Structures are given as structure tokens and as C-alpha cells.
Amino acid sequence: MTDATQHPMDGPTPDDALRQAKAADSVDDQGRLLAADGTPLKRSLARSLRVQKIRALALIAPLLLFVLVTFIAPIADMLFRSVENEIVPETLPRTVQLIGDWDHNSGEAPDAELFEAFYYDMAIAAQLKNHTRLGTRLNYEQTGISSLFRQSGRDIEDIGDIYVDQFEDLDEAWEEPATWLALMGDADWRDSYMEWFEGEQAGAPPAFQPSAAASEALPRTVEMYTLFSEFTAGARRDSLAEDEPWPVAYTALYQDLTAQPSATAPFEGEMATLVGVAEDAVADFETVDFRSYFIDEIDEDWGNPEVWATIQTFSGPFTAGYFLNAVDMQETPDGVAMQPDDQRIYGLLFKRTMFMSLTITFCCIALGYPVAYLLATLPMRSANLLMILVLLPFWTSLLVRTSAWKVMLQQQGVINDVLVWLGLVGDGSRLVMINNQFGTIVAMTHILLPFMILPMYSVMSTIPPSYVRAAKSLGATNWTAFWRVYFPQSVPGIGAGSILVFILAIGYYITPEIVGGTTGTFISNRIAYHISSSLNWGLAAALGTILLGVVLILYWAYDRIVGIDNVKLGG
């Protein structure tokens, strides 16, 4: 018999359960639940989740690395190349430092000081074979500069040779590499270098260390000799013990000896005597006026202010010039200006690319929708057979398909022959269907049509046929049932196919190159040209970046108008 005085809510309480859990060693003194190993349950769960995340990351790490290397990194490199201009300040550092003060509106070439700095930059660049790359870069901005730099690189040594001959006529010791080692290098470095040269040390030669005397008395010469030593160490086929320095070092030596009040003071012994004799003799040396020599002896174009204005304009490490060229504009010393009328081609190509890509997309929709509808409504056996025919072009080379259209569309091709045989066109008035926009649209529509059919079919195959039958049973006509019931449900497939076809079309260049001629090519053809032929990678990167931006803007607009959530590939 139960106790009538017991409260109806009497029974086990949370405190009782907590005491029981403590008794079972599943709760610590602070009331925290414990796992089987005795650690707090919360900490154990956090550790388990962390392990799961690490495992998941390890599973997708190869894919992430692949995407990073093959997609993200190339795009980042493209973006950097579209504004990078480091070759100018790296190749002409002394010139860039001074050219900012030159007035390009003066109508005259720069003064002798800038030409002197340019001489040193060009002489070093010619030895390092960088002057041709620099000329190619500046030639993108002004035609003819490339040949000017190539010729100047061949003739620049003549200036140094004038001083080489005079120093060697003064004393034969100046043509001995050992003299330069003793004059320029620190004593400890010379000992270490000779040990390396004689084979007593393995590996790379020790880095050049100038002596304190040379650094104080002959700073320009030390700078040139240091660059020469770095070059010989990198080449690994020359050595400072066997090769005399570049001619530009002799020019620097002459200028150091004429600039210093007493260059012999820091030196001792034979080197002091050698330098002292040279210091007394340089006053009678034949000298070179760098400005006159460049203009009168090397090339008169160095007296053209436009050449120097181009160098001045593109003297920074970064430039907007590539992007301006990509939109038919140019960067000038006076600011941004439009390109001449006969050079404005990229705006036209962008417009043509957009128009033809949209046209190809609409053609694919018009031709692909009936096929996809037929595939979705036919019995499975017949649909599978038609699907094989849709996929058949994927098993044929792109070049073969494009070349086949070139054969069919030409004036003496199959289509024109059939039209002439039917009497629809005269033999003397055959249709021009190749090497123009029509040929490009036809060939690319054929190539991209499967990419439209497959997404539409995958969506249409999920639409229940009972919806259309229900609409008809309620009195709708065939057209009304299709337009009001079936078509709206197929729009996501049209959207997916349209995005896929349009993005593929806007970046195509092989087919337009073969069948497009001069009026049917895309902007991608110019990008391919600049990458493979003109090697103007900066302009190609700028064009590619703009094309990427256009695609992203259109994608954003599509998302705002239609909604990307409405795009489906099936299901």
C-alpha cells in the first residue's frame, strides 16, 4: 500500500541522476560529463570533430592543390603580367633615376649626364644580353625601338674600346686579369679565389669582395667589376683569373681617375705605382662625349625626343599601358590618348566577340531545344540511339570537324555545288560562306551544340509527363500546355546550356582562326597571336583579364535577372 502522504512529484531528480553518474565515474567534481577514457565529453567531442576536419582536408587537398596550380596561379600570373613593367627599371636603373627630370616637351634629347648614365646601363645590358628584351618591350609602344636597341648593343663596346686601347698602350699590365684581381679585390678574397681557381676548393667561386682602397678611390670601377664578377660566376665558363673585365670597366676607370683628386693615396706598392702613372696620363687621353657619340656614331634616332619620351613614360615598375592598348588607347608623356584611327582594332574585336558568341548561343538554343525535347519524350531505346548521335562529335577531332566545314562551305565546296545543281544559285555567283562571320557561326554552332543539348535533356527528362496530360485534360491546347506548363520547367536547362555555350564560345580561337578569315575572328585569336607570335604577353594578359571581367559581369547580370539558383543540370 502506497504512502498517501507522498507528494505526486516525488521521484528521481536531476541531482539524484548527477549523484548516480558521479558514482559511476561519468561526471567529474565540477559536474562535467566524462567520456569513456575519463576526459571531459566536450573536449573529447571537439577533438573528434578536429580529427574529422583534418581527414576531410586531407581528402580534398590533392584537388585543392591541383586547382591552385592549374587555375588560380595562372590567373594570378596573368593579372600580374598585365601591369608588370620591371624590365625597364631593372635594365636601365641609372637612366630611370635621371630621366624623370627631363622635360619631354623641350623638343631636344636629354643632356650629357643622362646619356652617360644610359651608356653604363646599355653597356651592362649588352653584356648580359638584356638589351634586346628591353627593346622588344619598348617596341610595343613605339615601332622601331627594338632595332635601335639591337644596333646600339652591337656598337656600345666601341666606346669602352677607346679607353681599353689607351690604358693598354700605357702599360701592358692593364690587359692582365691578375692586375685587376690585385687592384680590385680584397687580399683575403684573392687568396680564397685563387684556391678555388687552382682546384683546391670545390663548388662555386667565392663572391667578389672589393678592397677598401679600391672602393674608396675607384667606386665606379668597383661597381662595374663587381657586375663582371657576378656574370662570370654565373656563367661558370669564365674566371676572373683568366678574363679581363668588360670594356665599360675601363671607361669607369678613366672617369674615376679624372674625378678623384689623388686616386693613388689608398693603394700601396705596385698598385699605387700603376694607378699613379695612369692618373698622370689620363689628362692626355682621347675622351668620348656620350651624347654626341650616341647620336652621331651609333644612331641618329637617339637624338629623337620621342624615343626618350617613351622610355620616360614606361620607366616605372608597373604600367597601365597594356590595359590602355587593350581598349584602343595609349599612355603618352602627356597622359592618356586614343590610338590612331587605323590602329583601333580591339574595341571592334570585343564587340564582334560578344555579338557572335550571343548569336551562336541563340542558334544552339533554337537547334538544341527540339532535339532535347525529342530525347526526353521518346522511348528509352530510341532516345539512347539518338543520344549516341549527339555524342558522336565528341569522338571526332575538333580540327577534323572544323576542316570539314571549311571544305563544305567554300565556294567550290559541297553546299555550293548542291545549290548550283538545284539551280538555286548560278555557277558564277556562288555563295561566300567561309572566311567570314557566317562560317564561324555555322562551324561553332555545330561544335558547341552538344553542350546545349545535354543540360537541356537532363532537365527535361525530370519533367513528369503527367503535368502536360493534366493541362490537356483541363482543356488546354497542345501549344498552351507546352508553353504554360512544360516550357517554364525546362528554362533551368536552357540557362545552364546557355552559360556553358556562351563561355566556351567567347574563348574559342581554333575554329575562328580556321574558318573566320579577317571578319570572323574573335578577341581570343589576338590573345593567342600575342602569346605565340608577337610575344607581347603583357597585352595578351590585359586582353585576357578584360575578357574575364566581361564574363564575370555577364554572369553577375544573369544571376541578378534570372537567378543562378534557377540553373540546373538535372534532378
CA distance 347 to 546: 11
HEC per residue, 245-313: CCHHHHHHHHHHHHHCCCCCCCCCHHHHHHHHHHHHHHHHCCCCCHHHHHHHHHCHHHHCHHHHHHHHH
Q: How many C-beta neighbours within 10 Å does residue 75 have?
A: 13
Distances (CA, A) of 414 to 31, 405, 513: 88, 10, 21
Quote the CA–CA distance of 148 and 127 in Å, as a whole number.
16
pLDDT of residue 5: 47
Q: Which residues contact 397 (CB under 8 A, 6 or more apart)?
A: none
Give the count of beta carbons closer than 10 Å to the beta carbon of residue 513: 18
Phi-psi region of 145 (alpha: psi -120 to 50; beta: other; left: phi over 0): alpha
The list of the chain residues with pLDDT below 50 reads 1-9, 17-18, 21-24
pLDDT of 1 reads: 43
Rounded to whole angstroms, how far apart are CA atoms 205 and 10?
93
Please tell me the distance from the alpha carbon of residue 207 to that of residue 21, in angstroms, as a whole number: 74
Query: What pLDDT score was predicted for residue 12?
Result: 56
Question: Rounded to whole angstroms, how far apart are CA atoms 95 and 312?
Answer: 9
Q: Note the pTM of the prediction, 2 decimals.
A: 0.79
Burial 159-194 (b: 16+ CB within 10 A, else e): bbebbbebbeebeebbeeeebbbbbbbbeebbebbb
For residues 279 and 265, give the distance between their C-alpha atoms in angstroms, rounded to a whole number.
11
Q: Is-contact 218 281, C-beta < 8 A?
A: no
For the chain, give me the number of helices (H) and strands (E)?
29, 2
Rounded Cα–Cα distance for residues 278 and 115 (Å): 25
Q: Which amino acid is at 539?
A: L
CB 125 within 8 A of CB 151: no
For the chain, what is the radius of gyration of the CA atoms? 39
The CA distances from residue 274 to 174, 181, 262, 281, 569, in Å, are 9, 14, 13, 11, 85
Among positive and negative, which fits the CA dihedral 415, 418, 423, 427? positive
Residue found by looking up cell 533551368 in the block = 492
Q: Beta strands 329-332 and 335-338: pairing type?
A: antiparallel
State the angle between helix axes of 537-561 and 346-377 in degrees (0 to 180), rounded to the nearest 10.
50
CA angle 488, 493, 495 (to 5 degrees): 90
Taking the CB of residue 219, how many other CB atoms lie within 10 A of it? 15
pLDDT score at 4: 47
Give ranges for CATH 1.10.3720.10 in the chain: 346-566
Query: What is the CB neighbour count within 10 angstroms for residue 328?
Result: 18
- Alpha carbon distance 27, 15 (integer Å): 12
Tens of pLDDT, residue by residue over 512-557, are: 999 988 888 999 999 999 988 888 999 999 999 999 898 888 888 8
Level-2 CATH architecture, domain 346-566: Orthogonal Bundle (1.10)
Cα 561 from Cα 117, distance rounded (Å) = 59
pLDDT for the residue 11:
54
